[in-house]
């Protein structure tokens, strides 16, 4: 019996106390199932909800050893301090640019790759290429950056040799702020293009083959088929994923920026998340760092709204 179906009539017949009795009966009937979900609920409450409440330290003067609510309230002091700090514009620029370039250069690759694979007939060849392209997804960021550092060793690293061939350089590229963004984005594309193509391949495989059949009858050539059948049918998937990416444009992950950056390149490599780590964890300014993180979340939401509105306006695709 579906509990929901009887919930409202029960409420009508017996009033409020009947409603609670009904709730209690439903609850007690599933008592054993409730015991099973209890550890999961406790986990979510402790490790997801308590940190959420803990964001309130952004508005207090938190000192180590205190509980979340034991610190004195200071209002927007940390936000003001951050907006006036010399790091504010640099962090905002670095984070937004890195996120923006990653989408601009990184987003088209998986789409292009999926389209190429879709045009390919040989099954074994296709599958081999696909398998190979997923591999870097499973390798840790530490190893990706470790490989990058190793391959860029001046004098003997294979990438250094290649770069040096085109633009003679003796300096370590990793200590040069100009090179941080290109290295970050190229390695990012290398690591993710295969894996990110999965969604597009799934969308491509659901295109009705009869469409191609009938267009061929009408004399459409291959390019026309791609242009008027393949592309329109994956457009909703592409746009939805693009909105999601746009929404996280200023949400540059900590791990990679932290591992690839170093003090010599902070001019371009220091992003909000790495700054939160340095000021918060390393220097112990917990409240200030949380305020910086909260500011980051706020701009994330703004970007998500902008992307969604634009998409609704021009393409009638939106997340909500």
Q: Helix, strand or coil for residue 73?
A: strand
| Cα 298 → chain centroid | 15
Helix H or strand E segment including 182 = helix 177-205
The answer to whether residue 303 forms part of the interface with other proteins (CB under 8 A) is: no
Looking at 145, 183, 243, 307, which residue binds other proteins (CB under 8 A)?
145
78 contacts 291 by C-beta, under 8 angstroms: yes
Site string for other proteins, 57-76 (x = CB under 8 A): x----x-x--xx--------
Q: Which of 78, 179, 266, 286 binds other proteins (CB under 8 A)?
A: 286
- Per CB under 8 A, contacts with other proteins among 198-237 are 198-199, 202, 222
User: Which of residues 78, 82, 107, 113 is near other proteins by CB under 8 A?
Assistant: 113
Token pair 């444009």 in the structure block, residue: 249
Query: Please, which residues have CB within 8 angstroms of residue 268's CB and are 6 or more apart in sequence?
Result: 94, 177, 178, 180, 181
Does residue 175 touch other proteins according to CB under 8 A?
no
Binder among 125, 228, 267, 283 for other proteins (CB under 8 A): 125
**Residue 273 interacting with other proteins (CB under 8 A):** yes
Cβ atoms 258, 274 nearer than 8 A? yes
Among 104, 158, 175, 231, binds other proteins (CB under 8 A): 158
Indicate whether 320 belongs to the interface with other proteins (CB under 8 A). no
Please tell me whether residue 79 binds other proteins under the rule CB under 8 A.
no
Closest CB 238 distance from other proteins, rounded Å: 14
Task: Decide: residue 239, CB within 10 A, 0-12 exposed, 13-18 middle, 19+ buried.
Answer: middle
User: 237-256 mask for other proteins (x: CB under 8 A)?
Assistant: ---x----------x--xx-
Rank residues 53 and 76 by Cβ distance to other proteins and give the closer one. 53
Among 5, 52, 86, 217, binds other proteins (CB under 8 A): 52
36 contacts other proteins (rule: CB under 8 A): yes
156 binds other proteins (CB under 8 A): yes
Helices vs strands, H then E, count in the chain: 17, 0
With H, G, I as helix, E, B as strand and everything else as coil, classify residue 88. Answer: helix
Binding test (CB under 8 A) with other proteins, winner from 60, 94, 133, 269: 133
- CB atoms near residue 94 (< 10 Å): 26
CA 273-276-282 angle, to 5 degrees, is 125
| One residue of 8, 76, 139, 264 binding other proteins per CB under 8 A | 139
Does 102 bind other proteins (CB under 8 A)? Our answer is no
Q: In angstroms, rounded to a whole number, what is the distance separating the alpha carbons of residues 251 and 308?
A: 16
Whole-angstrom distance, CA of residue 120 vs CA of residue 142: 34
Q: Judged by CB under 8 A, does residue 263 bind other proteins?
A: no
Residue 15 in 3-state DSSP? Answer: helix
Question: Using CB under 8 A, which of the segments 78-86, 119-127, 227-235, 306-314 binds other proteins?
Answer: 119-127
Cβ atoms of 158 and 151 within 8 Å: the answer is yes
Report the distance separating Cα 97 and Cα 181, nearest Å: 9
Q: How many residues bind other proteins (CB under 8 A)?
A: 93
Give the shortest CB-68-to-other proteins separation in angstroms: 7
Q: Tell me the closest approach of the beta carbon of residue 259 to other proteins, in angstroms.
A: 6
């Amino acid at each position: 019996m579906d509990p929901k179906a009887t919930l409202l009539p029960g409420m009508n017949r017996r009033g409020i106390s009947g409603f609670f009795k009904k709730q209690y009966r439903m609850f007690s009937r599933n008592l054993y199932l409730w015991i099973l979900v209890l550890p999961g609920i406790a986990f979510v409450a402790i490790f997801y909800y308590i940190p959420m409440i803990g964001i309130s330290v952004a508005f207090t003067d938190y000192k180590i050893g205190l509980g979340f609510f034991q610190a004195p309230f200071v209002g927007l002091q940390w936000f003001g301090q951050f907006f006036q700090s010399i790091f504010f514009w640099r962090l905002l620029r670095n984070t937004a640019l890195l996120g923006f370039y990653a989408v601009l250069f990184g987003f088209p690759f998986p789409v292009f790759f999926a389209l190429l694979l879709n045009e390919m007939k040989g099954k074994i060849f296709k599958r081999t290429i696909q398998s190979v392209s997923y591999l870097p997804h499973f390798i840790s960021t530490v190893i990706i950056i470790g490989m990058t550092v190793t391959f860029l060793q001046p004098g003997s690293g294979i990438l250094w040799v290649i770069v040096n061939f085109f633009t003679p350089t003796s300096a370590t590229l990793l200590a040069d702020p100009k090179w941080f963004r290109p290295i970050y984005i190229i390695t990012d594309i290398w690591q993710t293009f295969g894996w990110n193509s999965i969604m597009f391949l799934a969308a491509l495989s659901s295109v009705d083959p009869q469409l191609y059949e009938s267009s061929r009858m009408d004399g459409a050539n291959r390019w026309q088929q791609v242009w008027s059948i393949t592309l329109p049918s994956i457009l909703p998937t592409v746009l939805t994923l693009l909105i999601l990416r746009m929404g996280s444009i200023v949400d540059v992950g900590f791990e990679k920026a932290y591992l690839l950056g170093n003090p010599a390149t902070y001019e371009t490599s220091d992003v909000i998340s790495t700054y939160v780590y340095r000021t918060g964890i390393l220097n112990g300014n917990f409240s200030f760092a949380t305020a910086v993180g909260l500011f980051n979340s706020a701009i994330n939401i703004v970007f998500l709204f902008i992307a969604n509105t634009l998409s609704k306006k021009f393409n009638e695709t939106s997340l909500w």
